[in-house]
Amino acid sequence: MAARLIHVNPNAVSWAGFVAAVGAGIGFYLGGSGFLAAALFLLLVNSYLDALDGKIAKLAGKASARGDFLDHVLDRYADVFILGGVAFNAMYSRLSVGTLALLGVLLTSYMGTQAQAVGQGRAYGGILGRADRLVLLFLGGLIQWLVAPSGGVTWGTGPFTFGPLEWFMVLFAVLGNVTAVQRAVKIWRGFR
């Protein structure tokens, strides 16, 4: 597909992916069957375009530091809109859980760019990268849509009782922060 779109500006593809992410975030925030279905569709569009923009840039010989910077900035804002949409919808997640998920996601990215800032090259390793997160978020949203698109269903016991999509936010909170720590340790060891 990237070869067919070689004449398309890769930055335009990045922006289109970002617009899809904003739409997905709004769909998650509004909730309910129709908006959740739209959010899932737009999440797929964002994921696809995010994978495509860099490939188009490389094939067209248009890869640049400026384009890479734009892609990373838009990806972070996309993460905030998408996960923020879930976090701020009380039907799907408690705000505290959503905040911890966002913290894990943003710190993971920060550690990756911090490695580059100290001369070790961009760090992408760890247990939960962006592509993994998007796949898991789609799966969590799909389960939520199938089981309880308007919320009201929880699984667990005691303080560990969460709705379907909220369980995935818990996963992002835990694994996102674990990934950030993994990258930080790798960077620390890189100074030896």
CA dist., res. 160 & res. 23, Å (int): 30
pLDDT at residue 126, rounded to an integer: 85
DSSP-derived 3-state class of residue 77: helix
pLDDT at residue 143, rounded to an integer: 96
pLDDT at residue 152, rounded to an integer: 85
pLDDT at residue 188, rounded to an integer: 92
Chain segment 58-112, per-residue pLDDT in tens:
988 888 999 999 999 999 999 999 999 999 999 999 999 999 999 999 999 999 8
CA dist., res. 144 & res. 122, Å (int): 35
CA dist., res. 113 & res. 44, Å (int): 25
The one catalytic residue in 71, 75, 79, 132 is 75
> Does 2 map to a domain?
no
pLDDT at residue 4, rounded to an integer: 84
CA dist., res. 35 & res. 185, Å (int): 40
* DSSP annotation of 91: T
> Does 153 map to a domain?
yes
What is the average pLDDT across 144-149? 94
pLDDT at residue 163, rounded to an integer: 93
Which percentage of the chain shows pLDDT scores above 70?
100
Give long-range contacts, CB 8 A cutoff, 24+ apart: 87-93: 87/169, 88/29, 89/28, 89/29, 89/30, 89/31, 90/151, 91/31, 91/150, 91/151, 91/152, 91/163, 92/28, 92/31, 92/144, 92/151, 92/163, 92/165, 92/166, 93/162, 93/163, 93/165, 93/166, 93/169
Q: How many domains does the chain have?
A: 1
pLDDT at residue 124, rounded to an integer: 83
> Does 159 map to a domain?
yes
Residue 16 has pLDDT above 90, yes or no: yes
pLDDT at residue 123, rounded to an integer: 84
pLDDT at residue 141, rounded to an integer: 97
Tell me the CATH number at 43. 1.20.120.1760
> Does 5 map to a domain?
no
What separation in angstroms does the CA of 68 have from each of 53, 55, 62, 98?
A: 10, 12, 11, 28
- Strand residue runs (E) in the chain: 155-157, 160-162
CB 104 within 8 A of CB 173: yes
Name every residue whose Cβ is closer than 8 Å to that of residue 14 and which is 6 or more positions away in sequence: 49, 50, 53, 67, 70, 71, 74
CA dist., res. 15 & res. 189, Å (int): 36
Sign of CA dihedral 113, 114, 118, 120: negative
Average model confidence (pLDDT) for the chain?
93
pLDDT bin (cut points 50, 70, 90) of residue 7 is confident
Residue type, 179: T
Domain containing 163: what range?
10-190
Catalytic annotation on 53? no
Residue 121 has pLDDT above 90, yes or no: no
Residue 1 has pLDDT above 90, yes or no: no
CA dist., res. 2 & res. 57, Å (int): 9
> Does 106 map to a domain?
yes
